[in-house]
Structure 1
Amino acid sequence: MPRRCRPSPTPLGISKSVSGTSALPVAPSVSQSRRVVVTGLGCLTPNGSDVATTWESVVEGCSGAARITRFDPSDLPVQIACEVKDEPELANVPSKEARRMDRVLRFALLAAQEAVSHAGLDFDATDRERVMVAIGSGVGGVETLIANQRILETKGARRVSPFVVPYSIVNMPSGMVSIHFRLGGPNLSHSTACATSTHALGESAEAIARGVVDVALAGGAEAPMVPLTIAGFAAMRALSPNSESTRASRPFDVGRDGFVLGEGAAVLVLEAEDHALARGAQPLAVLSGYGASADGFHLSAPDRSGAGAIRCMRSALARAGFEPSRVDAVNAHATSTSIGDVVEARALREVFGRWTDHLPVSATKSATGHLLGAAGALEAILAISALHAQRLPPTINLETAGPGCELDHVAGKARPAQVAHILSNSFGFGGTNGSLIFSHPDA
């Protein structure tokens, strides 16, 4: 049975060794590309207030789910979620300003601060105009928007906050981080539903590879815990109605019936390898491959043939210059929905063929819930952590694989494994797909 537990912070055991300087395969659109590495990680999640506590919680099979506390959910058809429990104080931000911000902005800043600190980045010694920020969000500052709609209806237009627009727009997590660190490079915000931060990472890596920038702070942030969001997802039958919170998210299981909504933020520092080595940083991972595609099929349902997901994963493999057999493990998108999990399993079998039976698959949303726009970046952090721990996180609550979901599941508990390359998938509403491949720097 999964546990709702909060392990003490422990080191990830990341070995910061440096690989050679061989370039990535040339992308079709560029004549030459630089190797892109990860040098810093930061997150705030339902499972922990930083990377170390989050990893320990997830790898130990602890669930971040519980009854909703931010409001009384008694009138809603779904009353559980994966909420952030411990929100640290922001450094170098006046407390009054921090309290005024929408939570999605604080989440983004907290994750970015941890990532920058982890990377050892000194922006005073860096060309700030060659540092980009790409932190996306699915729903942005929805708490601010809903709160001010209530003020408008009860107290009138004059009482509406002048911050309602800047704090609610989707690009402000990225904007706030750019402002906080006084960065002058591109300031972008992807909003591609559940694939948001995967696309943010992939597109940032492409910008670095092309020489547009040297460094990127990339990821996603989400704070969707308002009654309307819960009610909306429930109306779509996307959320699990299971009131036993820690057992509700069960990707690939025969009894799966929807996801558990999550919140938080995850940010990674990406750098050109030559830039990282020149400043004395040692890479945590190489972002070896990135693929993106569209289903062109339906508002929320995936193409049941898996064609879009198949193209996406094959594109990531091609960008990395990998045969399918090079991939040692998969962090699946797997949201615990009846159709989506089957389609992803079908796509994995098509892409990896005879290797599929020996390809371990983890579905970490079983523990963290679905962080929407922040999910891909969080799962990238978990994949990189797995590369260094040589331990694959489990899919909790997976007891019996459902029809069509038969894979080499890391079910129930973590699995020791020799892994050099991990593929991570993100598939979103609107048929938007993203896949990333992370490699150990020594691989």
Structure 2
Amino acid sequence: MSQIVVTGAGIVSPLGSSVETFLAGLADNEVATRPSPWRDAEGMPLGWWAGVPDFDPDEWADARVQAGSDLFTLYALAAAQQAVTQAGLAELDPLRTAVVHGSSMGGMRALMRAQHDLERSGPGAIDRKTMIKIWPNMAAAQIAMRWDLHGPSLTVCTACASALDAIGTATALLKAGRADVAIVGGTEGGMPLADGRAEGEFVPATVHGQTAYGMSDPTAADRLLASIPFDVRRSGIVTGEGSAMVILETAEHSRARGATPLAEIAGFGSLSDSYHPSSPEPTGRWEALVMRQALDDAGETPDRVDMVVAHATATPKGDTAEIHALNDVHEGRTRPLPVTALKGHTGHTGASSGAMNLIVAMNAMDRGWLPNVAGTSQVDPLCRFDVVTGKPADVTVDLAQVNAFGFGGQDASLVVRRLP
């Protein structure tokens, strides 16, 4: 069966809208968390937010595409363009190129804005292109239209596991011979304007909804400590946004065109935790199983894993379950296991987070460093692995594991192998 390799990557993130600025932000221990652009009746920020700081839609889409697209679609187009460029794909075979994209909310902002306009100003105020902005498949559709592609175009909606499930789905398509190349990843957000500001008096209902549900801690006083994965003081997520896309190819196709692969997608696992709509099973048994599934798919054992990029949302229940899972899978390990997580730097970027984790893993293989977990200094004593704190760690990585777990019990894990 075909070996599947990564040949390009692109990103729009709270640390910047290119892979290099994203990685530079991680290396410099930047924290993207800032006061929310939305205000309450007294003018105080509605909690913390990790928005995209430097996104210019004009760089990535013409006026017609912008007018018919929610901002999440424009994020995806930008990340996809970067990935295609890095891969050196001057031409894409229309019938042999797939698009597999993940998003949990799609164009939810456009829907909430339309409802806001309807209630305040009546039907005539609704954007006439609202319907084509809303659909979650529009990011994949616009990517296909950008390159005139007619292969499989699929949208995966598995909450915060969406990007890894998209990568797993695309890998299966390529191995089955349905395509030679796939543009793959996940995207979330676009709730403020492209420049990060609030849009007049409009406040997305989801901003209040996540606070009402207890997902975030609006009383956190220090932005640097608002999201601290694996820390005993962790209290909830900071919502982030962005897109991360990669190019997958069969190794045969990559070799035939003289490309330089970045890594191999060696193994994948996906399953249902099936415990609670938002909380993982407390012992982490299903998260441990999905990690083992990915390792089995790769033909590898836990002792071969050189590092893990954890999902680690900085929630008390979520991190505890993943800690148990990591402890379980790596019980009896004879060498240190460095583990990092991004959400202290970027906030929780939802459906894009798994693909962002993949980019971090590939960078560790290429450049030999792993970012620290921003803000975390009091590591939960339950951790029987080495949480990277304080500063990036020097590492040698041949095999990495990447996790992504989502609401509804969506568990996914990916094993990535460095190529000689």
Scaled to the shorter chain, the TM-score interval is over 0.9
2:200 maps to what in 1? Answer: none
8 Å CA contact retained: 1:58, 1:368: no
SS of equivalent to 2:31: coil
What is the CA–CA distance in structure 2 between the aligned matches of 1:100 and 1:291, rounded to whole Å? 36
Matched, 1:245 2:212: no
TM-aligned CA deviation for residue 92 of structure 1: 6.7
2:199 maps to what in 1? Answer: none
8 Å CA contact retained: 1:240, 1:249: no
Partner residue of 1:323 out of 269, 276, 301: 301
Q: 1:436 to 1:116 in 2, by over 3 A?
A: same
2:39 maps to what in 1? Answer: 72
SS of equivalent to 1:189: strand
Matched, 1:47 2:47: no
Q: CA RMSD in A?
A: 1.7
Matched, 1:298 2:276: yes
2:39 aligned partner, one-letter code: D
TM-aligned CA deviation for residue 96 of structure 1: 4.9
Matched, 1:164 2:130: yes
CA deviations on 1:76-103 (whole Å, 9 max, x unpaired) are: 8842110000013445732354255211
1:227 maps to what in 2? Answer: 204
What is the CA–CA distance in structure 1 between the aligned matches of 2:13 and 2:415, rounded to whole Å? 22
Q: Which moved more, 1:401-410 or 1:297-306?
A: 401-410
Matched, 1:106 2:74: yes
What is the CA–CA distance in structure 2 between the aligned matches of 1:96 and 1:67, rounded to whole Å? 32
1:177 aligned partner, one-letter code: I
Give ranges in structure 2 of 5+ residues lacking alignment. 192-202
1:205 aligned partner, one-letter code: T
1:133 aligned partner, one-letter code: V
Q: 1:356 to 1:331 in 2, by over 3 A?
A: farther
Partner residue of 2:319 out of 336, 341, 364: 341
What is the CA–CA distance in structure 2 between the aligned matches of 1:199 and 1:173, rounded to whole Å? 16
2:370 maps to what in 1? Answer: 392
TM-aligned CA deviation for residue 192 of structure 1: 0.5
8 Å CA contact retained: 2:70, 2:190: no
What is the CA–CA distance in structure 2 between the aligned matches of 1:216 and 1:355, rounded to whole Å? 36
2:356 aligned partner, one-letter code: L
1:368 maps to what in 2? Answer: 346
What is the CA–CA distance in structure 1 between the aligned matches of 2:58 and 2:257, rounded to whole Å? 26
TM-aligned CA deviation for residue 141 of structure 1: 1.1
Q: 1:94 to 1:116 in 2, by over 3 A?
A: same
1:60 maps to what in 2? Answer: 28
TM-aligned CA deviation for residue 154 of structure 1: 2.3
SS of equivalent to 2:95: helix
8 Å CA contact retained: 2:166, 2:185: yes
8 Å CA contact retained: 1:341, 1:405: no
TM-aligned CA deviation for residue 382 of structure 1: 1.3
2:115 aligned partner, one-letter code: Q
8 Å CA contact retained: 1:79, 1:243: no
TM-aligned CA deviation for residue 162 of structure 1: 2.8
Matched, 1:141 2:107: yes
What is the CA–CA distance in structure 2 between the aligned matches of 1:114 and 1:74, rounded to whole Å? 41
What is the CA–CA distance in structure 2 between the aligned matches of 1:200 and 1:155, rounded to whole Å? 39
Q: 1:223 to 1:88 in 2, by over 3 A?
A: same
What is the CA–CA distance in structure 2 between the aligned matches of 1:64 and 1:305, rounded to whole Å? 31
SS of equivalent to 2:205: helix
TM-aligned CA deviation for residue 247 of structure 1: 2.1
Within 5 Å, give how 1:117-156 maps onto structure 2: 117-123=85-91, 126-156=92-122
Q: TM-score w.r.t. structure 2 length?
A: 0.93
Give ranges in structure 1 of 5+ residues lacking alignment. 1-32
TM-aligned CA deviation for residue 406 of structure 1: 4.3
8 Å CA contact retained: 1:291, 1:313: yes
